[in-house]
Amino acid sequence: MELVDSAGHNFGPDSDEVKSELKQVDAELVRVLDAVSEADNVNVMVFSDHGMSARLGGARDAASGLINVLDYVRSEDWAHAAGSRSAPALQIWPKADNEDSVSSLKT
């Protein structure tokens, strides 16, 4: 179901393209569940490798395709950050007395 991922990257997580791909995934999952519904000792598990958020400036705007987490977390709340503003991943270690404020951050 890599098409959901591709559609999300190309058109954004709230796009009609993603919704269409998700409907196809949903239909396939229903088909699988129907096929195994009479079987004994079967567990069906669904995993996702990541979520998505809307890109700043639009889904296809490469210049603003990254969300800079450090723009949303006050520098006085964290002790250490590893990664890069231009990389797709960043790790933040909050200061000992600020774990709750950093972990409850909503954007």
Q: Work out the angle at residue 11's Cα, subtended by the Cα atoms of residues 5 and 56, and round it to the nearest 5 degrees.
A: 105
Top-ranked range on mean pLDDT: pick from 42-46, 55-59, 101-105 = 42-46
The residue-averaged pLDDT of 65-81 equals 72
Look at residue 31 in the predicted model and tell me its pLDDT.
92
pLDDT > 60? residue 105: no
- Select the more confidently predicted residue: 31 or 3: 31
Report yes or no on whether pTM surpasses 0.75. Answer: no
Domain definitions of the chain by residue range: 2-61, 69-103
The length of the chain, given as a count of residues: 107
Find tokens 């949903």 and name the residue. Answer: 26
> What's the sign of the alpha-carbon dihedral 49, 53, 57, 60?
positive
User: Does the pLDDT at position 90 exceed 60?
Assistant: yes
